[in-house]
Structure formats: structure tokens, C-alpha cells
Amino acid sequence: MNNISVFPSFKFKPRKLEAITKLLKEKYKDKDLLPLSLIMRKSHDMLAQVRSLKNNTEDIITFAHSLKNIDINILASVYPFEKDDVETLNKIIIILMERYNTVVGHRFWQHYQQSPYDVNIIKILQSSFNIEGGGFLSLQSNIRNYYNKFFNSNNPSHILDLISLEIGSQNMKITEQFKIWKIEENSTLSQEIWLTILHNFLDKKDFLNRQDPKVIEDKLESLNITIYKQLIDIYLSSIFYKDFHNELFEQAIKRLHDPRVNLSRWEGMSKTSIENVKKRFISDELSDFFKSDQERFAFWENYFDYIHDVRYVKDPPIAAMNFGDFVVVEFEHVGNAAYFYMQEGFSQNLSYKLKNNVSVSQLKNTSASYFIHKLNHSGRWPERFDKYIHYYLKGEFHYKH
């Protein structure tokens, strides 16, 4: 009999090593960041040395090369030195440009997030995109190309406009694009870009369709009332009222209230916006009123441009549509004709009866001097109604078919 040793097979998985590796990565992920105590201690002396330098480029460059890498890191970290004058800031920028390294680029990208209009930051970032190329921020090649092109402009506002227009025109959600453009949410940069995007794209249906309405609602909610009105006016005046997003429409009513009741908060808004909001109200309310008779709703929908407002009674269901010079009273239940009255007479004698538990017969006064006509909904009634309304809108109330 052979003596054969059999060893069981096994798999080795270094779980403890993986855990330690993860811990080390977490500990040193910000290895280029310096302790605050060190920055505070060394920056004071360094800034004093910079201030004492002659305002001479050759002397500044010589001084730059005398500094250690950690000194450069500190200068990049503590920018923008709010208490320093323009001359000192210019000296520091020359030093950082001369001794540029990856840490400087990353620091100034962080500064740019909070100070996108700072020309010195832009000057450093121009070097970052030119010197580091594809390595800077690990950007996608197309995004890097955009930044290279945009940062060639020394006008901070122009750079922001170019970034905003490019992001807004792409077929992606803004929140997703911020990630690949390396823009931090809730930074000053992101807020400025959002503001420019909303100014330029709130009237574009394709842009709105690819965004999350809740995100746009949140961005608009954070704005003061003056800027909010400017932006929501673009939206309400450009988008078809039936295509209003519920979130944005409801937000507008919450902040500005119902314009049919009080127009004070709508001061400065365009007439088109106000009329579109009224149409949306009328559409929603008549849609609910005629929920069991879509044919009648579809007919009256053609006249939303002429209806000033609608008054309702819930029990029994009655709708009085105000066309300005005349009023049309419709009853929800099938079998009732539509009654047409002159506006002035209706307002003085019948409008007060529009309340719950009113008798339907009280709103069918054919003997009143202000009664115009009644039309039933039989046969080819839409054509017949159209003819009468055509004349009534011209004030010709004596028309008879």
C-alpha cells in the first residue's frame, strides 16, 4: 500500500490586508493638504517676505526659486490673502506661476469654486490647463478641450457664460454634468452657472424635458423674489400653459399667489405670463368640472383665450364662464342647456346666487332683460355654438341662427 499524503485545496483572501490598505488610503487621500497650524505659523513670515520684495519681476522670480515646495503649497493654500494689497497679490501670483505644480493647480481649482470672478485665480488656471493637459483634474478629453478654449478669455463673466451655455446645451442632466466638469454642488461657481443656465434655457422645452423639475424648483426657491420673478417670467411666458410642470407652476402660485385674486405680487411680470397662468387655472378647473364629458371640455378649451375667469358651485355642479361682455352658465349634468347672459345684468342679478345648494332653475332665467340665449348640446352642437359665440364676441347678441 502506497503512503500518499493528500492536502486539501484552499483559497487565500487577505481580508486583514485589504482592511489596512483601505485605512491607509483614507488616511492619506488628502496628503497634499497641510495642517492648519503649520499654514498659520509659516504663512505670516512668508507674506512679510513677499511684501518686502521690490516690485521687480526678476527679484520676485529669484525669491520664488529660493522657496521650498512646502512654501509654495502654503502660498497656494492661503490665497486670496484678503488683507493684502494688489501689489502683494500680483507678486504671489508671479511666484506661483514660476513654481507651478499640481498642488497649486488643485488648490486654485478649489478657490475658483468659491471665487469664479477672481482674475488671478483664472490666470493660474490658464496655466493649469495648458501645463498639465489631460492630467489636470482627470478631466475627460472633451471637457478639458472646452476649458482650454474658455479660459483663454480673461473675462470672468465670459468664461462663466461659455461654461453655462455649453453645459445647458448638452443632452444630460445638469447635476450629472457638474460631476464630469468637476463643479462642486452648492459652490458659488455652481450657483452662478445655474443662474446663467436658467436665464438662457428656461424657455427651451427640450432642456426642461431632460432635467429633473424638482431640481429646478429647488434652484429657483433659493433665489430672492426679484430674481425669481425674472426667471419664472421667462418660463411662464414661453412654455405652453398645458405643459407647465406641476412643481414649477405650484411654486409660482405659492410665491406669487393666484393672479385672478390679487395682482400685486405679479407686478413687473409680463402680460403673457399672467394670462398663461390664468389659462392653466381655467384648464385645470374646467377639466375637473367636465371630467365626465370630455367633448364639452374640448369645445370650451378652444375659447380659453377669451375666458377671463370661471366661478364654480360644487353642489349642484355649475360653472359660470366670464367672457368679458357676456357670461355662459354650464351645468355638469347632461340634459341641461348652456345659458348665455350679458355680463352687467348677470353680475347684478344672478352672480350672488352662485353658491352651494342653489336651485338650478334660479340660474335659468330666460325672461330676464339681460338673457341672451340658451343652446342645448344635441346634434352637431359644437358647430352651432361656434356660430353664436362668433357673433357674441363681437357684441352682436341679437344673432339668431
Tens digit of pLDDT for each residue in 17-32?
A: 566 445 434 433 444 5
pLDDT of residue 4: 52
Residue 1 in this model has a pLDDT that exceeds 50: no
Q: How many domains does the chain have?
A: 1
Residue 8 in this model has a pLDDT that exceeds 60: no
In a domain, 374, yes or no: yes
Kind of pairing, strands 309-313 and 318-322? antiparallel
Are 283 and 244 within 8 A, CB to CB?
A: no
Planar angle of CA 356, 325, 334, nearest 5 degrees = 45
Are 322 and 307 within 8 A, CB to CB?
A: yes
Distance in angstroms (rounded) separating the CA atoms of residues 81 and 93: 12
Mean pLDDT, the chain, whole residue set = 89
Are 296 and 275 within 8 A, CB to CB?
A: no
How many angstroms separate the Cα of 149 from the Cα of each of 68, 142, 158, 366?
A: 32, 11, 12, 75
Residue 10 in this model has a pLDDT that exceeds 50: no
In a domain, 31, yes or no: no
**pLDDT band at residue 352, thresholds of 50, 70 and 90?**
very high
In a domain, 48, yes or no: no
pLDDT in tens, 209-238: 999 999 999 999 999 999 999 999 999 999
Least confident of 125-129, 250-254, 363-367: 125-129
In a domain, 294, yes or no: no
Residue 379: domain span: 302-392
Peptide bond into 80 cis (omega under 30): yes
pLDDT > 70: percent of the chain: 88
pLDDT in tens, 258-286: 999 899 999 999 999 999 999 999 999 99
In a domain, 368, yes or no: yes
In a domain, 272, yes or no: no
Peptide bond into 14 cis (omega under 30): no
pLDDT of residue 27: 38
In a domain, 62, yes or no: no
The residues pairing with 329 across neighbouring beta strands, listed in sequence order, are 320, 339
Its pTM stands at: 0.79
Residue 367 in this model has a pLDDT that exceeds 90: yes
pLDDT of residue 395: 95
**pLDDT band at residue 12, thresholds of 50, 70 and 90?**
low
pLDDT of residue 99: 94
In a domain, 160, yes or no: no
pLDDT in tens, 41-70: 677 788 889 989 999 999 999 999 999 998
